[in-house]
């Protein structure tokens, strides 16, 4: 039996382990963290990511955890109501093949599907010199596997940082969003213990923001906000995700029997909205390529040739789209409002839906 070692038990690592184990590989997953992560932010799994979840047999379990799409209230900085965007607008922007889940729920569903098929160990790591037939570095944006294989310097930092954390409180079943010059804040409330806050802002010096620490930096950038968004920051949130918004651009994804997968290889950023989907599709297609080719290096080369154009396209989309998360001026905020309000008109919404369905094919 061929042996695979997978570093990282995030979406990419667990999806890879699941696909390979089902194809008859003996798989060991090594995760640095002491336990599986829970909670996190909300991810949309759309288009090819949804299709990969289907092929991996995960849709029934994911549907049980689907948060659905909610009405969004756009607010001003003081928390006052600006306008309402019905959930039908969100439906148009994600298309028909879509699920909305907490990242932690997606990882739990993957873990439950693979736990009896693979040897998953927490609190450990490994490097590509490990004696194995296939070594998969699915260790995220700050991948140590990438550094071991190709050296440092393949992260392209965009001028933004992002923070996200779970929020407790009563259920409203609504989302509240503030979009102002240089920054966006959102709170998605799906119920008690099912609420996540999200903040991103533009900065020319992401390392300095990270050095300040999540809460001091986020309170500096958003402390003036009123309403539920300001309240979320005034609590003492736990499990705060806070990082630079960086893409990964590395000339090759594999070297011999070792390969990078997920954010470690091609991080597209949250601005692309397809990172989780690409991780799952990448894992599924890796299984296909390994079935189709006798040698591991040939399979890895064929897999990369087919997948790389998709990652490049999503990275370009993220760079084009990042302004909508942090419009440069009040005028750009106003333009965004006009576009969003237009989408409440059924005719415009149908056009958007058709465009999204084409892009998600």
Ligand X SMILES: Cc1cc2nc3c(=O)[nH]c(=O)nc-3n(C[C@H](O)[C@H](O)[C@H](O)COP(=O)(O)OP(=O)(O)OC[C@H]3O[C@@H](n4cnc5c(N)ncnc54)[C@H](O)[C@@H]3O)c2cc1C
Query: Under the rule (CB under 6 A), what is the footprint of ligand X?
Result: 7-13, 30-33, 41, 43-44, 49, 103, 125, 138-141, 144, 162, 164, 198, 262-264, 270, 273-277, 279
**From CA 158, how far away is CA 108, in angstroms rounded?**
30
Contacts with 40 (C-beta within 8 Å, 6 or more apart), sequence order: 102, 103, 104, 164, 166, 196, 239, 241
Q: How far is the CB of 282 from ligand X (least distance, A)?
A: 9
Q: How far is the CB of 321 from ligand X (least distance, A)?
A: 12
Q: How far is the CB of 10 from ligand X (least distance, A)?
A: 2
Neighbours of 317 (CB within 10 A): 17
Q: Which is nearer to ligand X, 123 or 295 (CB)?
A: 123
Q: Are 56 and 284 in contact (CB under 8 A)?
A: yes
Q: Which is nearer to ligand X, 84 or 125 (CB)?
A: 125
Q: Which is nearer to ligand X, 31 or 310 (CB)?
A: 31
Strand, helix or coil at 255? strand
Q: Which is nearer to ligand X, 106 or 170 (CB)?
A: 106
Q: Which is nearer to ligand X, 25 or 271 (CB)?
A: 271
Give the dihedral sign, CA 138/109/33/274: positive
Q: Which is nearer to ligand X, 228 or 264 (CB)?
A: 264
Q: Which is nearer to ligand X, 293 or 352 (CB)?
A: 352
Q: How far is the CB of 275 from ligand X (least distance, A)?
A: 2
Instruction: Look at residues 104, 65, 97, 148 and name the one whose alpha carbon lies nearest to residue 274.
Output: 97
Q: How far is the CB of 344 from ligand X (least distance, A)?
A: 22
Both tokens of residue 351? 């056009």
Estimate the crossing angle of helix 275-292 against helix 296-321, to 10 degrees. Answer: 160
The residue whose two tokens read 């369905």 is: 357
Q: Which is nearer to ligand X, 96 or 329 (CB)?
A: 96
Q: How far is the CB of 211 from ligand X (least distance, A)?
A: 19
Task: Tabulate helix, strand, coil % of the chain (nearest 5).
Answer: 45, 25, 35
Neighbours of 298 (CB within 10 A): 13
Beta bridge partners of 254: 259
Chain center to CA of 139:
14
Q: How far is the CB of 156 from ligand X (least distance, A)?
A: 15
Contacts with 34 (C-beta within 8 Å, 6 or more apart), sequence order: 122, 123
**From CA 213, how far away is CA 241, in angstroms rounded?**
11
**From CA 267, how far away is CA 12, in angstroms rounded?**
11
Q: Which is nearer to ligand X, 255 or 293 (CB)?
A: 255
Q: Which is nearer to ligand X, 13 or 227 (CB)?
A: 13
Q: Are 307 and 282 in contact (CB under 8 A)?
A: yes
Q: Are 168 and 39 in contact (CB under 8 A)?
A: no
The residue whose two tokens read 């590989």 is: 25
**From CA 91, how far away is CA 96, in angstroms rounded?**
7
């Amino acid at each position: 039996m061929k042996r695979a070692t997978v570093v990282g038990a995030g979406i990419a690592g667990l999806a890879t382990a699941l696909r390979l184990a089902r194809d008859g590989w003996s798989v060991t997953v090594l995760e640095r963290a002491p336990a599986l992560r829970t909670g996190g932010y909300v991810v949309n799994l759309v288009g090819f990511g949804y299709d990969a979840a289907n092929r991996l047999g995960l849709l029934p379990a994911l549907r049980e955890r689907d948060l659905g799409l909610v009405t969004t209230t756009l607010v001003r900085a003081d928390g006052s109501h600006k306008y309402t965007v019905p959930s039908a607008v969100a439906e148009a922007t994600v298309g028909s093949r879509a699920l909305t889940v907490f990242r932690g729920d997606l990882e739990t569903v993957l873990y439950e599907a693979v736990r009896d098929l693979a040897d998953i160990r927490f609190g450990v790591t490994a490097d590509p010199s490990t004696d194995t037939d296939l070594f998969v570095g699915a260790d995220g944006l700050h991948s140590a596997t990438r550094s071991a294989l190709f050296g440092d310097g393949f992260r392209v930092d965009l001028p933004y940082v992002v923070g996200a954390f779970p929020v407790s409180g009563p259920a409203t079943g609504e989302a509240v969003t503030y979009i102002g010059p240089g920054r966006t804040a959102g709170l998605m409330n799906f119920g008690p213990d099912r609420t996540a806050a999200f903040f991103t802002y533009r900065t020319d010096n992401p390392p300095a923001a990270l050095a300040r620490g999540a809460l001091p930096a986020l309170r500096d950038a958003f402390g003036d906000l009123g309403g539920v968004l300001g309240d979320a920051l005034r609590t003492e949130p736990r499990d705060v995700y806070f990082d630079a918004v960086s893409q990964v651009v590395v000339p090759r994804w594999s070297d011999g029997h070792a390969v990078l997968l997920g954010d470690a290889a091609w991080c597209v950023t949250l601005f692309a909205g397809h990172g989780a989907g690409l991780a799952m599709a990448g894992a599924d297609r890796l299984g296909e390529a390994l079935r189709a080719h006798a040698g591991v290096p040939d399979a890895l080369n064929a897999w990369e040739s087919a997948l790389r154009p998709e990652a490049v396209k999503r990275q370009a989309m993220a760079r084009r789209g990042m302004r909508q998360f942090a419009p440069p001026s009040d005028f750009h905020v106003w333009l965004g409002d006009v576009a969003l309000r237009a989408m409440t008109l059924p005719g415009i919404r149908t056009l958007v839906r058709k465009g999204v369905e084409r892009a998600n094919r």
